[in-house]
Chain A
Amino acid sequence: MPIGRPANELPPLSQDEILRYSRHLIIPEVGVEGQRRLKAARVLMVGAGGLGSPIGLYLAAAGVGRLGIVEFDVVDATNLQRQVLHGTKDVGRKKVESARDRIRDLNPHVEVVAHEAWLTSENALEIIRDYDLVVDGTDNFATRYLVNDACVLLGKPNVYGSIYRFEGQSTVFCTDEGPCYRCLYPEPPPPGLVPSCAEGGVLGILPGLVGLVQATETVKLIAGIGEPLVGRLLLVDALGMQFRTVKLRRDPRCPACGTREIKELIDYQQFCGIRGGEDETAGVPVLTVAELDERRRGGADLDLVDVREPHEWDIGRIEGARLAPLSSFADALRTFDSARDVVLYCKSGVRSAKAVRQLQEAGFKRVWNLEGGILRWSEEIDPTVPRY
């Protein structure tokens, strides 16, 4: 069953559109009716980043009539390795604007609706209500639970994809019979356990693979063809290049789609255990990059320690530092001298705060965390240290 309007209410195709979509029109499973369904379809993309890029490009090319994009972020140079919707000239621009320009160039028949905002419990129902389905290309657990609950409440399919390093997952949630995100993952991992792509990295091609699975499922749902990825979770392993599906079941105890005890959107930051964001570094003695610079210029004898991983050390380091990765920090404790001042740094200051705590627990008193990490050192003191 295709989603959207009955066949007699579908918009006609212009001659331009018939030519543009001719390779669709000559597939019997799509045909003129399928293309008119695509034209009538209203799809909301949440996120115009790694997953959103291939999703947006291919859905626009395929002729989806209205493409909504929820995104508040700005294009950053570190996005370009995978976010092919944006170009080098767009660095610093709003992603929704960059996306709109690119899609307009690709297919002027597509109406792009830019929602320049973060999706929140306050605006989600209002935004999603006007669309036929949602494609989830967000990058955090809180928004994924929010998208799920809003889709369950409104009865909209949620075409899901997520990625980390070399692996991805995709499925279609929130259909009439199928399971929802909460049926699969009733609770999120505690904050900090699963690193984001910004912290842990991602193979740039991977969101292309997984995003195009989502785009494919979206087109199938709209045209009502094939076997949708409902009740099956596709696992993508780019290193082994293996694709497998495992069975998903609707959980009758699910508070969203089962018992339906979730009747309105909740506070998803709280649900995901996110309090202040900077919590992990709270109470740890800090040294600013300016203070460190001044003390080094003054010839102070201090032990500057980089707690990042060796592959990050290879990208760049603060001169005079030594490496003691947090992952094996316990083994490195004996290399510290409690009589010397110790300054620890990592990329942005979170991991090094943990290392400071470990040293404090081991009895060290003269230990400081370099505030803002090597990124701030690069910004404010030594721009020859590469940002990453």
Chain B
Amino acid sequence: MPVTLRLPAVLAKAAGGKTVHEARGATVGEVVGDVAGRFPELGPRLRDAKGEPYPYVIFYLDDEDIRFQQGFATPVPDGAEIVVVPAIAGG
């Protein structure tokens, strides 16, 4: 069963105009890599040159912060939802 990667609207433009993406992968990093592979512009917005997450783009696996689990190596259960939350500062 695929998992869902949910992007903020601000990143949709780099992802074919869509915020919700079905993807495959055993870990959060693989799921991110699957979607980033389809949209070359999106990859650098989600992870740095070493393939690691940025300190200002946070990934939640079923509403839990992956930094308090195993980061991109965190295993992803079937049907899980990953939400991407970038820092914004507008007011």
Contact B88 A164 (CB under 8 A): yes
Contacts of A247 in B (CB 8 A): 60, 63-65
Contact A194 B83 (CB under 8 A): no
Give 1 or 0 for each of A196-208: 1 = CB within 8 Å of chain B CB: 1100101000010
Contact A194 B87 (CB under 8 A): yes
- CB nearest to A49 among chain B residues: B91
Does B17 touch A at the CB level, under 8 Å? no
Report the bound CA distance from A194 to B68 in whole Å.
25
Contact B54 A189 (CB under 8 A): yes
Does A246 touch B at the CB level, under 8 Å? yes
- CB nearest to A211 among chain B residues: B91
Q: Which of B25-66 contact A (CB under 8 A)?
A: 54-56, 58, 60, 63-65
Contact A196 B89 (CB under 8 A): yes
Report the bound CA distance from A90 to B43 in whole Å.
45
Report the bound CA distance from A47 to B91 in whole Å.
8
Does B8 touch A at the CB level, under 8 Å? yes
Contact A246 B65 (CB under 8 A): yes
Which of A110-118, A133-141, A344-352, A364-372 participates in binding chain B? A133-141
Give 1 or 0 for each of A85-103: 1 = CB within 8 Å of chain B CB: 0000000000000000000
A194: contacting residue among B9, B64, B89, CB under 8 A: B89
Contacts of B83 in A (CB 8 A): 235, 244, 246
Contact B10 A139 (CB under 8 A): no
Contact A50 B91 (CB under 8 A): yes
Contact B88 A166 (CB under 8 A): no
Does B86 touch A at the CB level, under 8 Å? yes
Report the bound CA distance from A27 to B68 in whole Å.
40
- For chain B, what secondary structure do more than half of its interface residues adopt (helix, strand, loop), or is it mixed? mixed
Q: A165-B9, A246-B60, A246-B83 are in contact. Are A202 and B90 (CB under 8 A)?
A: yes
Report the bound CA distance from A184 to B90 in whole Å.
17
Contacts of A50 in B (CB 8 A): 90-91
Contacts of B64 in A (CB 8 A): 246-247
Contacts of B58 in A (CB 8 A): 184-185
Q: How many residues of B contact A (CB 8 A)?
A: 22
Report the bound CA distance from A169 to B8 in whole Å.
11
Q: Which of A209-235 contact B (CB under 8 A)?
A: 233, 235
Report the bound CA distance from A184 to B60 in whole Å.
12
Report the bound CA distance from A233 to B85 in whole Å.
10
Does A187 touch B at the CB level, under 8 Å? yes
Report the bound CA distance from A162 to B83 in whole Å.
18
B68: contacting residue among A187, A197, A244, A249, CB under 8 A: A249
Does A245 touch B at the CB level, under 8 Å? yes
New A-B contacts (12) at CB < 8 Å, excluding given A47-B91, A185-B87: A52-B91, A138-B89, A140-B89, A141-B87, A144-B89, A166-B9, A168-B88, A189-B86, A194-B89, A207-B91, A240-B19, A248-B65
For this complex, 17 residue pairs linking A to B, each with C-beta atoms less than 8 Å apart, are A52-B91, A139-B91, A141-B89, A164-B90, A165-B10, A169-B88, A185-B56, A187-B56, A189-B56, A196-B90, A200-B90, A235-B85, A244-B63, A246-B63, A246-B83, A247-B64, A251-B67
